[in-house]
Amino acid sequence: MTIWFGGDYNPEQWAETVWQEDVVLMQQAGVTMVTVGVFSWSWLEPQEGTFTFEWLDRVLDTLHAAGIRVDLATATASPPPWLSHRYPDSLPVTETGVRLQRGARQAYCPSSPDYRRLAARLAGEIARRYADHPALELWHINNEYGCHVSRCYCETSAAAFRRWLTNKYGTVENLNRAWGTAFWSQRYGSIDEVTVPSAAPAFRNPTQLLDFDRFSSDEILGIFREEAAAVRAASPSVPITTNFMGLFKPLDYWAWAAELDVISDDCYPDPVDPDSPYLAAMTRDLMRSLADGKPWLLMEQSAGAVNWRPSNAAKPEGMMRAWSYQAIARGADGILYFQWRQSERGAERFHSAMLPHTGTDSVSWKAVCQLGGELREIGDALDAPTHGSVGIMLDWDSWWSIEQTGLPSTIDYMEGVRAWYRTLYDAGVAIDFVNPRSDLGRYSAIVVPTLFVATSDALAALSAYAEAGGRLLVGYQSGITDEEGRLTPGGYLGSLAETLGVRIDEFFPLPVPGSVPADSVRLRANDLGVRDAVGIVWSERLVITSADVVARFASGPLEGEAAITRRSAGAGQAWYAATLPDPWLRSRLVAQLLAGTGVLEDAVAVPGVEVTRRGRHRFVINQTASAVSVPIAGQTLSVEPYGVRILEGDTVWRD
Amino acid sequence: MTIWFGGDYNPEQWAETVWQEDVVLMQQAGVTMVTVGVFSWSWLEPQEGTFTFEWLDRVLDTLHAAGIRVDLATATASPPPWLSHRYPDSLPVTETGVRLQRGARQAYCPSSPDYRRLAARLAGEIARRYADHPALELWHINNEYGCHVSRCYCETSAAAFRRWLTNKYGTVENLNRAWGTAFWSQRYGSIDEVTVPSAAPAFRNPTQLLDFDRFSSDEILGIFREEAAAVRAASPSVPITTNFMGLFKPLDYWAWAAELDVISDDCYPDPVDPDSPYLAAMTRDLMRSLADGKPWLLMEQSAGAVNWRPSNAAKPEGMMRAWSYQAIARGADGILYFQWRQSERGAERFHSAMLPHTGTDSVSWKAVCQLGGELREIGDALDAPTHGSVGIMLDWDSWWSIEQTGLPSTIDYMEGVRAWYRTLYDAGVAIDFVNPRSDLGRYSAIVVPTLFVATSDALAALSAYAEAGGRLLVGYQSGITDEEGRLTPGGYLGSLAETLGVRIDEFFPLPVPGSVPADSVRLRANDLGVRDAVGIVWSERLVITSADVVARFASGPLEGEAAITRRSAGAGQAWYAATLPDPWLRSRLVAQLLAGTGVLEDAVAVPGVEVTRRGRHRFVINQTASAVSVPIAGQTLSVEPYGVRILEGDTVWRD
Amino acid sequence: MTIWFGGDYNPEQWAETVWQEDVVLMQQAGVTMVTVGVFSWSWLEPQEGTFTFEWLDRVLDTLHAAGIRVDLATATASPPPWLSHRYPDSLPVTETGVRLQRGARQAYCPSSPDYRRLAARLAGEIARRYADHPALELWHINNEYGCHVSRCYCETSAAAFRRWLTNKYGTVENLNRAWGTAFWSQRYGSIDEVTVPSAAPAFRNPTQLLDFDRFSSDEILGIFREEAAAVRAASPSVPITTNFMGLFKPLDYWAWAAELDVISDDCYPDPVDPDSPYLAAMTRDLMRSLADGKPWLLMEQSAGAVNWRPSNAAKPEGMMRAWSYQAIARGADGILYFQWRQSERGAERFHSAMLPHTGTDSVSWKAVCQLGGELREIGDALDAPTHGSVGIMLDWDSWWSIEQTGLPSTIDYMEGVRAWYRTLYDAGVAIDFVNPRSDLGRYSAIVVPTLFVATSDALAALSAYAEAGGRLLVGYQSGITDEEGRLTPGGYLGSLAETLGVRIDEFFPLPVPGSVPADSVRLRANDLGVRDAVGIVWSERLVITSADVVARFASGPLEGEAAITRRSAGAGQAWYAATLPDPWLRSRLVAQLLAGTGVLEDAVAVPGVEVTRRGRHRFVINQTASAVSVPIAGQTLSVEPYGVRILEGDTVWRD
């Protein structure tokens, strides 16, 4: 298996004389593939219907002559100025009615027929011209779909939304029933009366909001489909990708992933954020889970600083390499950067690149070259990715729904996901992400931080998982509504209540952080240790029907009532957490949840260090600025700051 | 006297089979009256001019058969989608020009002729159909007027504003004079040139802003009048109400109250805010003061949590009952909830209800039933409300004006009102709210936290009150402008300066909270005790003409100058506070202000406990989560957490 | 030399009977000149084309009869309501498309042909009518240009922007090259496709933004030119001014100053901000630098409080006088106030005035009269201003550019300027502001806090300055781009790198304040003293080519690397600071930078005291609320709180 190495290459920014220097330096850096054409539309089609591919021919020929493969973009990510000048309705509109202007990028309404027609045409033109180019390795459809405009509130979008609703509901009566329009006098006489959820005087209908999120994800997926169809028609055998952006709320990547041949991710952790290692690990694990056996690429990372944070820290020496190996260890088949050569002008002049402003006599260039060389060496020896032992449930319907307004509390959906991921990560456990339709049976445990929206099938699947011997941990605000946003039939938790052995009497959400009253509650869990613990975000009055109480609330109006429960469910266990426990208690709970599964016995847990298995190899990565010692395979490995050591079996294979 | 008990009933959310269960459970809960139809427009008039009252007939018949009275709404609170679809100009527009969309509620411009015509027509249709229905107890006009849209900046509103101005000023010359348009070259050639105060490059004309606030309150009152006229034409003998929202800035409830037969209030204190008891007491006292002898209802409260705060806490056991008795003690004639049965769908799914998602086997249902039973028992024995001993002045013109920009400081009008109310509340004093036109003579003392806008009549009335023997305390920023927003003729304080015995030389507002310089000033008041005190919000350089100095500034540029003064004015006293003293000093000042009036001798002051007289009865309410002992009537009453004990004379009547 | 003394006089706010009282009181206060007509448009031209000058004739005659000179405004600062009523497109539009409304002031689009035509006509009418009026002293063009509307995003502005771009670039190809439109597919097919930079989905093109800032400053200067031309045509010999607003980002005052005969400034430091003395000193020094030999006036200050801050503190006794003398000491030729008589109505009722609401029996009126008398006494004896010893570089292109988004960090341009100014101010050094085209040779040292945008000429001038014997200190983020926003040819610092003896390898900006990671870095500079220091805002990895290292980073990823360097460059020195040192280290650096120049030997540095030379006189101003002792001229001067003592040579001349 070869590891792709390279980055975005935007030659139109440079005189052709520079291109020759580029390929020489690419070879020096070990580049094997570059992404070409992402922002080339205005250079390829300078006016509507006039195409100027000759320069791109020369670029591809030049790359091919140097042995560099090409991930060729459909060039549709940023429409040229002429497009919105001729078709002003193609510009997107915000929730408060502001029509966004060209002059940045991605200035298009996802439903614009003009944008979509012209994008599909360009994709087809490019595909036909380059389908047989010998440098072609991969098709790159568009770029970072939805990054800047994932929701549009213009009239074109409203009409598209109504078509989507008509398709879904058939009749306005069905829509009225599903949305519960009897409340607040929202009954529609016709789907023609439905609008997009732009600014309104009060809370919107929650099912309208949820459907608008689903529609918007689908609508953008529709652009992908149209471009992909145009490409596949001309070039059926070359695989297709588009680049995701990690844990990106606007698009349901579970639905998207099914349509890609190769999963790609753009990932820019903040070098000064101490949480970056585990946050990046989450996105690697998500990509491997989305790929589910297909290849996945780290399509974009930065050699140094980015330019879009309030302050853009550079990466200390070693960090970029450590983070790259983190992706490899978690299954990546390529390490690429945005971009090859740092721009001299334009909006991303200050985004670092493989070849920086400061040239080849620079610390960061040397780091790029070193990594390129290493990956070329080890690529062929790597196995396919190893999947996780524990599954964490991630569900876009729940994410969208629980972050609406008008709910019991203001909940950051990812806070719970991050918290449980972090606990498992710190324990050295290999983690996959799963969704309610996944095959859960292959995991030793399933953690459901919050499944606010749950179909009856989803609830049944979780119960079945536990009954069949699985270890199931369910967090608060799960099974609250069905897929229509209606109170779960049978009440909160639905059919899962019996599996968990609890019933919910009343929600007592804790104050949001920064409120005057305490935003946490004390917890007591004597059988997990003597120490008191704390819960945040949530509490609720539980009625125990058949569960054991693992921890109780120890302060507040629910003092003495159950907080965390466990029930033997068939061959397995079903845990319920009515609060978000602090890290200490989470780690105790995870230890009990996994007891007897063998998962923890196989894990190496050293603070700041990741030990990750990929087939025969284990990658030991020091994510800190200090040297560490890691007991592993009967020895003590020392790893330098940001150092990486790779074991094959129990033997050190690479340093 | 019967105490109404019940809540909003929205049967259109439910199958008719549920209605029978509803009335059975209502009877079980002790419900005597429900509010029907608040959000029924789209169900009653599914398309313009087509009315479908049959289902509502059945609802009212069902209720009547069960002996439940009906507060029948005009159903105009939330126009149906077809209305704004047919009449898009009926949608409201924000200060920055955003036209708000349907899909929530209250999406109408208060000046929309289409909304008003159709609302009045519907009100008339309903009134004619149900005027003689035997279940009818009360007419409920619209709902929470102005809650979400109290100011509209569309062209229709602008035209209405110009009509209102023409009516007020007659000529543009009068308007130019009143508004002071000579400044900043704002002279209008015609009232046609006047706009609503939408977003502008700099501070707006303050009198334009004040007139726009007055117009907006009047304009919405105009909707009420049109609906009420339609109802009264068909049903002249049934009383009319609409529900207020406590201390609600957008509408001048003094003007509104005069037009209602029954005063109603919606009140949702935050269960985790330790200030909620006194804040709720304020709104009860305001409603009793607005009613001024007419009945008043707690029209909406929640059985548990609401769903519109960032975090919506449930009520600990006992709290809902304690807060309900607080309203009864302060004169309420009814305790109702929003809503009867918790919605399964829609924007308020998570707003608690009398009958919660979790059904009748729940803590909160039991609390509702208990209270219903108790109120049915005691209702007949209750006397009319007892009015307060001290009046606090509340004036919407001042509230609107002092919270404009371009003023000496950023003052929260209610901060001062709350502060003085709190001090009197803590002292156990019975408090009314008064306005500048009230009969002040019946109060032992009048506290004027801030009367920024004062007519010469208002200033004269205050002087006369003191001269006639009253105890008058006036706070800073009173008598600053007349009703046109012009510097008070004769200078700050106008004719009141002589009564107070002080003159203001220059304002020295303190920095706003959170500024780097200190936002408080030290105060020294030796004759009130040895302790140093602190003032916030305000300081100013006073010139003493004939007052005694009670406290002096003890730091800052005014160190040593007078801060609080007292003058014997005729038979009474006139106090002036040039700062907002801290709670300790306020309590000392109140003690002196009331010395000799007998007010304090009659009061019971125990922290966390309210002792409130209603005719023969005194209600002792423990507003805390701990048991308390209350010395009262020659005995020591113990009251459990959130407990209520009622005395008749000196004897415990109910526990 | 006479010192002008007076203020804005807005007689249209008052009955004519008041005018007579006004001039009597003006004489009492020592007023010599008033500014008339600033907000008179709607009173002078009540409808389009109808002029009513008679009342203004009487005002000027009345003033002249009292011996008071007139700074006569063109009255165009605030267009009358009829203008935007007739020409609604003349109203400005915000970045998000909100058209701002009349009813405040300055409600016009700078490119509006209607506003500009009517403003120039009015200016001409006034100029022709009053060119020969004997009271006329100075023409006051418009007022505070750009204060509220300095950028307009309407279609008229967009068309004007395109004309400006066509004028600058000639062809769209030149624009495409300069803006780097190859990036993000922004290539324009025609300048017609270019828009103003209103709200967009992502970061805008940085050169588009910079050009829009330049265009906007130019466009408003165009209004000035049109009005000035109309005035000069009728009144060629009377000098012309317009009032600046200190360090005002929207307008490039270097370009503006060249077109004025007299520089004017409006300056309103916050009385409770302890930084106000030095911040005010900065603006005085800037005005003197802009004037560069021409007169300059403190055109507006407040007698007491303003009304536009969140809290508007009054001035303690003495402060207004001290701040006035600060301006005189730094070269001002006049002290004027906004406004003469405090308004009774309108948006600035609560802005203090020479004659306050509280009248002549007030502390602030007496302070005004005292100052007027003193200035009349000393005016004739004052010399021309003395220029500074050290120049601080101030550059609007850099200011505009470095505060864009999409940059390495979020940098407050003025933070660095203020920091270095403050250090020099605290050292008692006389400071000028300079720009890249100034004659640098007359300064002992030049400090360049940040010159983000630098032409090759600017870089060469700085090198030449050092080579010729100057002391040059350059801060981080200088020489980063050229005037097109392109990476500086030759790399960061361009030709200055050699002079400084350093090269930049990679930026490591520090976290922005309030971030979780530390937002400062420790520094060690042993040869400047033993104490450790701290740097904020910035760090970067330097490569030393020929400089000496003065301080090193002592924490973080660059620990041990160079932070501050010095190189002997020809006859001078070239210092580079890769961070913003703390005040202690800055004072040490300034001491070394100026060592041997004689500058510090001539300075008096007493905390809270300014000693400023103006020709023969030295002004000793106590800027604190406590008495101070100042060692000067071989004696110890005691100065009372906010006191002022003036020395002529070594002798006290005035107290």
For C359-369, letters b (16+ CB in 10 Å) and e give: eeebbbbebbb
Of the pLDDT bands very low, low, confident and very high (cuts 50, 70, 90), residue C392 is very high
Q: For residue B439, what are the contacts with CB-CB under 8 A and spacing of at least 6?
A: none
| pLDDT of B190 | 98
Q: Are A255 and A214 in contact (CB under 8 A)?
A: no
What residues in A contact C507, CB-CB < 8 Å? 305, 312, 314, 350
- Tell me the one-letter amino acid at C76: T
| Tally of CB atoms within 10 A around B628 | 18
pLDDT-flagged residues of chain A (< 50)? 530
Question: A346 and C512 in contact by Cβ < 8 A?
Answer: no
For residues B354 and B412, what is the distance between their CA atoms, to the nearest angstrom? 35
User: How many angstroms separate the first and last alpha carbons of chain C?
Assistant: 20
| Residues facing residue A632 across a β-bridge | A635
Among C46, C82, C313, beta carbon nearest to B508 = C313
The answer to whether B79 faces chain A, any CB pair under 8 Å, is: yes
Q: What is the dihedral of CA A375, A381, A382, A383, to 10 degrees?
A: 170
- The three-class DSSP label of residue A345 is coil
CB-defined contacts A:B, below 8 A:
200
Considering CB atoms only, which of B196, B486, B509 is closest to C344? B486
Which long-range CB contacts under 8 A does A235-241 form with residues at least 24 apart? A235/A127, A235/A130, A235/A131, A235/A136, A235/A139, A238/A131, A238/A136, A238/A137, A238/A138, A238/A139, A239/A138, A239/A139, A240/A138, A240/A139, A240/A141, A241/A71, A241/A138, A241/A139, A241/A140, A241/A141, A241/A297, A241/A299
Q: Residue B342: phi, psi to the nearest 5? A: -65, 130
Instruction: Name residue, tokens 């593939």.
Output: A33
Residue B487 at interface with chain C, using a CB cutoff of 8 Å: yes
The Cα A352–Cα A305 span in angstroms is 5
pLDDT at residue B529, as a whole number: 60
Q: Tell me, what amino acid is at B20?
A: Q
- Determine the Cα–Cα distance for residues B525 and B562; give it in Å rounded to an integer: 10
Report the pLDDT value the prediction gives residue B519, as an integer from 0 to 100. 74
Instruction: Give the least confident one: B601-610, C374-383, C506-515.
Output: C506-515
What's phi and psi for C494, nearest 5 deg?
A: 50, -135
Does the CB of A187 have a partner CB in chain B at under 8 Å? yes
> How high is the mean pLDDT of chain C?
96
| pLDDT attached to residue A519 | 75
For residue C300, indicate whether it is catalytic.
yes
Task: Label the pairing between strands B635-639 and B628-632.
Answer: antiparallel
Q: How far apart are the first and last CA of chain B?
A: 20
3-state secondary structure of A360: coil
The CB-side HSE value for B297 (13 A sphere, CA atoms) comes to 27
Nearest C-alpha neighbor of C43 from the set C25, C26, C57: C57
- Total residues found in chain A within this entry: 655
Q: Which of residues 94-123 of B touch C (CB under 8 A)?
A: 96-97
Distance CA A118, CA A44 (A): 12
C-alpha to C-alpha distance for A562 and A541, rounded to whole angstroms: 8
Q: Which of C94, C312, C357 sits opposite B491 (nearest CB)?
A: C357
With a CB cutoff of 8 Å and minimum separation 6, the contacts of A635 are A650
Cis peptide before C339 (omega within 30 of 0): yes
- Please, which residues bridge with residue A266 across strands? A300
**Phi, psi dihedrals of residue C177, rounded to the nearest 5°:** -65, -50
Amino acid identity at C521 = V
**CA nearest B104 in A: which residue?**
A204
- Percent above pLDDT 70 for chain C: 98
Are the beta carbons of B589 and B613 closer than 8 angstroms? no
**C516, pLDDT greater than 70:** no
In 3D space, the residue among B145, A313, A518 whose CA is nearest the CA of residue C556 turns out to be A313
Whether the model clears a pTM of 0.90, i.e. scores above it, the answer is yes
Q: Which of 57-76 (B) contact A at CB < 8 A?
A: 75
User: Minimal CA–CA distance to A647: which of A381, A385, A387?
Assistant: A381
| A617-622 and A644-648 beta bridge pairing | antiparallel
ipTM of the complex: 0.96
Sign of CA dihedral A619, A623, A626, A632: negative
Per-residue buried b or exposed e for C421-451, using 16+ beta carbons within 10 Å of the residue's own CB? bbbbbbbbbbbbbbbbebebeebbbbbbbbb
Chain B nearest-CA distance from A83, in A, is 27
- Please indicate whether, in this complex, the C-beta atoms of A80 and C197 are within 8 angstroms of each other: no
What whole-number distance in Å separates Cα of residue B357 and Cα of residue A493? 12
Q: Which of B434, B334, B348 is nearest to B387 (CA)?
A: B434
The alpha carbon of residue A462 is apart from the nearest alpha carbon of chain C, in Å, by: 39
Strand segments (E) across C88-198: 136-140
Tell me, what's the pLDDT at C514? 73
Dist CA A429 CA A599 (whole Å): 7
Domains by residue range for chain A, with CATH: 4-150+238-381 (3.20.20.80), 390-598 (3.40.50.880), 609-654 (no CATH)
- Number of Cβ within 10 Å of residue C384's Cβ equals 12
Are B439 and B398 in contact by the 8 Å Cβ rule? The answer is: no
H helical segments located in B170-236: 172-179, 206-234
The rounded Cα A90 to chain-centroid distance in angstroms is 28
Residue type, A389: S
The whole-angstrom distance between residue A537's C-alpha and the CA centroid of its chain comes to 23
Chain A contact for B341 (CB, 8 A cutoff): no
Q: Residue C278: enclosing H or E segment and its boundaries?
A: helix C276-291
Q: Which amino acid is at C381?
A: A
pLDDT of residue B521: 78
Residue C171 neighbours by CB under 8 Å, 6+ apart: none
Q: Diameter of chain B by CA atoms?
A: 76
CA C261/CA C141 separation, integer angstroms: 11
Q: Which candidate, C519, C522, C473, C528, places its Cα nearest to that of C496?
A: C473
C-alpha–C-alpha distance, residues C345 and C281, integer Å = 33
pLDDT in tens, A130-186: 999 999 999 999 999 999 999 999 999 999 999 999 999 999 999 999 999 999 999
Residue C433, helix vs strand vs coil: strand
Is the pLDDT assigned to residue C519 strictly greater than 80?
A: no
The Cα-based distances of B448 to A393, B479, B556 in angstroms read 59, 11, 26
- What are C64's two structure tokens? 């002249």
Cβ proximity of B325 and B379 under 8 Å: no
Q: Do B203 and C102 touch (CB under 8 A)?
A: no
Residues of B in contact with C322 (CB under 8 A): none
Residue type, A454: A
Give the model's confidence band at C578: pLDDT under 50 very low, under 70 low, under 90 confident, else very high.
Answer: very high
Q: List average pLDDT for each run of 10 residues in chain B, which is 655 residues long.
A: 92 96 98 98 97 98 98 98 98 98 97 98 98 98 98 98 98 98 97 98 97 98 98 98 98 98 98 97 98 97 97 97 98 98 97 97 98 95 96 98 97 98 98 98 98 98 98 98 97 98 97 76 70 90 97 92 95 97 94 96 95 97 97 95 96 91
Q: Which of the residues A45, A125, A137, A300 is marked catalytic?
A: A300
Question: Per the residue annotation, which of B300, B348, B540, B561 is the catalytic one?
Answer: B300
Residue C119 has pLDDT above 90, yes or no: yes
**pLDDT on residue C1:** 56
| Residues of chain A positioned with their CB less than 8 A from the CB of C485 | 345, 349
Nearest CB partner across the interface for C43, out of B187, B408, B485: B187
Cβ pair B614, B382 in contact under 8 A:
yes
Q: Do A564 and A501 form a contact (C-beta atoms < 8 A)?
A: no
**Residue B486: count of CB within 10 angstroms of its CB:** 20
Annotation marks residue C12 as catalytic:
no
